[in-house]
Copies of this chain bind each other. A is one copy, B any other.
Amino acid sequence: MRNWELRVDDIDTPTAGPGQVLTKVLSCGICGSDLHMLKHGEEARQLSDELDDGLPPDPTRPIMFDPSGDMVMGHEFCCEVVELGPDVANLVVGDVVVSMPVAFDAGGVHPLGYSNNYPGGYSEYMVVNEMLAMKVPDGLPHQMAALTEPLAVGIHAVAKSRIAPGDAALIIGLGPVGLACIASLKMQGIGPIVGADFSPARRALAEHLGCDEVVDPAVESPIEAWRRVDGSKPLVIFEAVGVPGMIEHAMRLAPKDARVLIVGVCMQQDQFHPMLGIGKELSLQFVLGYDPLEFGSALDAIATEKVDLAPLLTGTVNIDGVPQAFTDLGNPDAHAKILVEP
- Name the B residues within 8 Å of A44 (CB-CB): 275
- Per-position binary interface string of chain A over residues 259-295, scored 1 when its CB falls under 8 Å from any chain B CB and 0 otherwise: 0001001111111111111111111111110000000
By DSSP majority rule, is chain A's interface helix, strand, loop, or mixed? Answer: mixed
Do A274 and B283 touch across chains, with their CB atoms under 8 A apart?
A: no
Do B276 and A47 touch across chains, with their CB atoms under 8 A apart?
A: yes
Rounded to whole angstroms, the CA-CA distance of A47 and B274 in the bound complex is: 11
Do A281 and B287 touch across chains, with their CB atoms under 8 A apart?
A: yes
Given A269-B272, A269-B273, A272-B272, the answer on whether A278 and B252 have CB atoms closer than 8 Å is no
Do B283 and A275 touch across chains, with their CB atoms under 8 A apart?
A: no
Do A247 and B274 touch across chains, with their CB atoms under 8 A apart?
A: yes
Which chain B residue shows the least CB distance to A248?
B269
Given A270-B271, A284-B283, the answer on whether A277 and B256 have CB atoms closer than 8 Å is no
Rounded to whole angstroms, the CA-CA distance of A282 and B283 in the bound complex is: 11
Interface hub of A51, A256, A273, A278 (most chain B Cβ within 10 A): A278
Which chain B residue shows the least CB distance to A59?
B279
Copy tally for this chain in the complex stands at 2
Do B265 and A275 touch across chains, with their CB atoms under 8 A apart?
A: yes
- Name the B residues within 8 Å of A47 (CB-CB): 273, 275-276
Interface size class on chain A is 35 or more
Rounded to whole angstroms, the CA-CA distance of A209 and B180 in the bound complex is: 48
Rounded to whole angstroms, the CA-CA distance of A145 and B278 in the bound complex is: 26
- Per-position binary interface string of chain A over residues 231-264, scored 1 when its CB falls under 8 Å from any chain B CB and 0 otherwise: 0000000000010000100001000100000100
Do A62 and B279 touch across chains, with their CB atoms under 8 A apart?
A: yes
Which chain B residue shows the least CB distance to A264?
B274
Rounded to whole angstroms, the CA-CA distance of A281 and B282 in the bound complex is: 16
* Closest CB pairs A-B (n = 10): A277-B286, A284-B284, A266-B274, A283-B285, A62-B275, A60-B279, A278-B286, A60-B280, A278-B288, A60-B256
Q: List 25 A-B contacts (CB under 8 A).
A: A47-B273, A51-B252, A51-B276, A61-B279, A62-B275, A62-B276, A242-B274, A247-B274, A262-B274, A262-B278, A265-B278, A267-B274, A268-B273, A269-B271, A269-B272, A272-B272, A277-B284, A277-B286, A278-B288, A279-B288, A280-B286, A281-B285, A281-B288, A282-B286, A283-B284
